[in-house]
């Protein structure tokens, strides 16, 4: 790839809209899911894979199953997203949306990797 094309692709990447949202990582072998709110979903799957592959991820249950079942057994899905420039208070919006998805999917115990919400 020539230098001009690289420059063009980099510029396109930089000008792409960014989104925040709610993501799900699903273990296709046992059906367990993990729900998380993320401030920037671009390249987020790569972030999770890198951390899980290197035993850096903070969720010990997800980390253990990642080593047991391997990457091929997991899928990644964006459940909800919104442009980052379309929000006044992203932190509050993410908190609210995550709570909605946790209530809807209940990814606890045998169903998932999340810890139950505190009241």
The domain ranges of the chain are 18-96
Q: Confirm whether pTM is higher than 0.95.
A: no
**CATH fold of 18-96:** GIY-YIG endonuclease (3.40.1440)
pLDDT for the residue 17 = 81
pLDDT tens figures, 27-76: 999 999 999 999 999 889 999 999 999 999 999 999 999 999 999 999 99
Query: Six-digit token pair at 50?
Result: 């890198």
pLDDT at 96 over 90: yes
* Mean pLDDT of the chain, nearest integer: 92
Element (H or E) spanning 65, and its range?
A: helix 60-69
Confidence of residue 119 (pLDDT cuts 50, 70, 90): low
Average pLDDT on 15-38 reads 95
Q: DSSP per residue over 15-59, as a string?
A: HS--EEEEEEEEETTT--EEEEEES--TTHHHHHHHHHHTT--S-
Query: Bridge partners of 74?
Result: 27
């Amino acid at each position: 790839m020539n230098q001009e094309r690289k420059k063009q692709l980099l510029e396109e990447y930089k000008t792409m809209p960014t989104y925040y949202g709610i993501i799900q990582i699903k273990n296709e072998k046992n059906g367990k899911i993990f729900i998380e709110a993320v401030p920037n979903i671009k390249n987020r799957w790569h972030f999770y894979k890198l951390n899980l592959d290197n035993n850096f991820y903070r969720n010990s249950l997800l980390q253990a199953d990642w080593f047991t079942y391997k990457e091929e057994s997991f899928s990644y899905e964006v459940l909800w997203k919104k442009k980052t420039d379309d929000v006044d208070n992203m932190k509050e919006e993410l908190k609210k949306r995550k709570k909605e998805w946790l209530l809807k999917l209940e990814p606890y115990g045998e169903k998932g990797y999340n810890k139950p919400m505190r009241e």
